[in-house]
Amino acid sequence: MTTAEQIQPEGDAAAVAWDIEPLVDGEGEAGVERLLDLATARARAFAERHEGRVAELGGDELIAAMRDLGEIQELAGRAGSYASLWFSTNTQDPPRGAIVQRVQERGTEIQTALLFFDLEWAALCDEHAEALLATDGLDFCRHYLSTLRRYRPHLLSQPEERVLAEKRVTGESAWERLFSELVSAIEVDAPRAGDGTGGGADDEGSTEPLALDAALSRLTSPDREVRRTTAEAVTGALAPGLRTRAYLFNTLLHDKAVDDRLRGYRSWISSRNLSNEASDESVQALVEAVKGRYELPRRWYRLKAELLGIDRIADYDRMAPVVSEDETMPWPDARELVLEAYGSFSPELGRLARGFFDERRIDAPLRPGKRGGAFCAYTVPSSPSYVMLNWTSKRRDALTLAHELGHGVHADLGASQGIYHQHTPLTLAETASVFGEEMLFARLLEQTDSADSRLALLAGSIEDSIATVFRQTAMNQFEDRVHSARREEGELPVERFGELWRESQSEMLGDSVELTEGYDTWWSYIPHFIHTPGYVYAYAYGQLLALSVYERYLEEGESFVPRYLEMLSAGGSRSPEELGRIVGVDLADPGFWDAGLALVERQLEQAEAAAREVSGDGRPAG
């Protein structure tokens, strides 16, 4: 078993753990139960007062009812946030899994008691609903109530909705939790990495057990043999549970197909688009625009092959450094750089970002059983947000920190809108995070004093754009294929998932990257396919939007800052188009995507120029 000492990062990050006790007033599991008891009692009382009578509410009564509902959601949300955050730091600990299950069960009880309200609200005639929505004092929930009515054609009867909600605990939610536990338990018997300078393994054939995220970070090694053998080890580690994860995915694919059929959604992605306040047509326009520029990642990967001195890179080479400089960054340095970037842009953002460190709202180190990746949890407006990392002391980790803190400041500014409007649709959820990452990137670029370092940074930037815009679009196409195939062909064998994964990746990469045989199984650890079907295109949407917003800032300077803060503080209180207009972006313009993609191409041109500078002869270094 991997020990904590083996995988703890260097420096102070090993001690950076969040304190989530404020969510439950310092009462731990007992606090979770107390909050759920309060929420349950208030939900039952609310139902006794209002069930069957929503159509009779006047404007002032609607305001009072929505405030009551919001307070119930706050109580349940604090309990749920505590349970999920506690679980995420050790998904292999049974008591943590048990409390997550408890919260889901109690949360479903609360949800079913309140189901009537949304259904009765959606059933109101348009004239009556519009009159109520015009009530003074309803700003805290007006947009939320308006968007709820868009679901009217897809809602079932109250008894049917109740059954679906009750069964979700032992259905969809249970499968999602099982996936998290299975992936978090994956241990990679990876080749020993040597002294960290890229000189290869200490002892030929020597290996060490690593968590999946730690092993994947080895794909950034400058040593190609380390990358190749690590990729093979990851493939080997994915193999034992592959059929189980494929069965799990099959089950959720069919579950969604049934749900879509019952609710009358015309495609597998329609429900996600509705929640994102985006039309099927606009999303398809985004996907087609990105696919139309697939030559950009191919162009980069051909250049990268030249930089690495090989004919064609393989899938495990895509994250390889293009120069031999050491790209590690100690935690204290990353902390100060990120805070400087945020603070120099806006003292308010700097203050909010510092709060994550001062108030112990970051969990940084790798640990056995800890959920992989990085995320920011919004919690509820009455409590601040939390950031989780898996810190490996890479310079890229500092950019991840800046990214997640972008989510965090967005959440904390949006909290002023209250429970109904704190969250934006997923399509805007990446705006502040990518913007924060760009701020740090610009600062790092300013500090570079060598052509090699400049090339390394630019390479990282273009590769992040490729990963966020193009790879996520390719993953959207994988999802499209698997959802369609599951509905047309029935249960899909493991090999079919691999075929569809390879097809979607090959469509993006063309002949610029060799896809190895083992890569066919790498779809099986990606959580978005399981937890949030259809989510991934929002990354491309958000990246292109954020790059456009950042470009506005570069053009306008300090005068742009107040409008940017206004947009973040608006949360989800307005439509995406209205939020975009605050910062001068027209999301309804069909040419918007082309403008964002042009910025990605400019990044690529900068990287190509840096490569020529490194070579010293006008040609890429090789």
The pLDDT tens digits of the residues spanning 378-400 come to: 999 999 999 999 998 888 899 99
Return the pLDDT at 200.
46
**Does the pLDDT value for residue 621 go beyond 60?**
no
337 CA to centre of own chain: 23
**Does the pLDDT value for residue 136 go beyond 90?**
yes
Question: Phi and psi at residue 390, in whole multiples of 5°?
Answer: -130, 85
pLDDT band for 5, please (50, 70, 90 cuts). Answer: very low
Least confident of 221-230, 280-289, 554-563: 280-289
107 token code pair: 């949360």
Q: Which residues make Cβ contacts (< 8 Å) with residue 557, sequence separation at least 6?
A: none
Sorted by where each begins, the domain ranges of the chain are 4-170
Return the pLDDT at 601.
92
Least confident of 193-207, 523-537, 554-568: 193-207
- pLDDT tens profile 37-57: 999 999 999 999 999 999 999
**Of residues 74 and 193, which shows the higher confidence score?**
74
CATH 1.10.150.20 is held by the domain 4-170: no
**Does the pLDDT value for residue 2 go beyond 60?**
no
CA–CA gap between residue 198 and residue 429 (Å, rounded): 37
CA angle 470, 476, 479 (to 5 degrees): 150
Least confident of 318-332, 334-348, 483-497, 596-610: 318-332
CA–CA gap between residue 245 and residue 531 (Å, rounded): 13
CB of 352 within 8 A of CB of 413? Answer: yes
CA–CA gap between residue 67 and residue 74 (Å, rounded): 11
**Does the pLDDT value for residue 104 go beyond 70?**
yes
Average pLDDT along the chain: 91
Give me the helices (H) in 90-211, please.
94-123, 126-133, 142-148, 158-168, 172-184
Return the pLDDT at 196.
42
Average pLDDT over residues 233-252: 97
Return the pLDDT at 8.
39
Average pLDDT over residues 438-445: 91
CA–CA gap between residue 613 and residue 320 (Å, rounded): 19
577 token code pair: 């188009």
Average pLDDT over residues 441-461: 86
Least confident of 115-119, 372-376, 453-457, 508-512: 453-457
Residue where the block lists tokens 């193009």: 470
Per DSSP, which regions of 317-405 are E strands?
362-365, 375-377, 386-391
**Of residues 44 and 547, which shows the higher confidence score?**
44
pLDDT band for 566, please (50, 70, 90 cuts). Answer: very high
pLDDT band for 314, please (50, 70, 90 cuts). Answer: very high
Q: What b/e sequence results for 460-490 when a residue is b if at least 16 CB atoms lie within 10 Å of its CB, and e otherwise?
A: bbbbbbbebbbbbbbbbbbbbbbbebbeeee
Average pLDDT over residues 108-115: 93
CA–CA gap between residue 602 and residue 583 (Å, rounded): 22
**Does the pLDDT value for residue 565 go beyond 80?**
yes
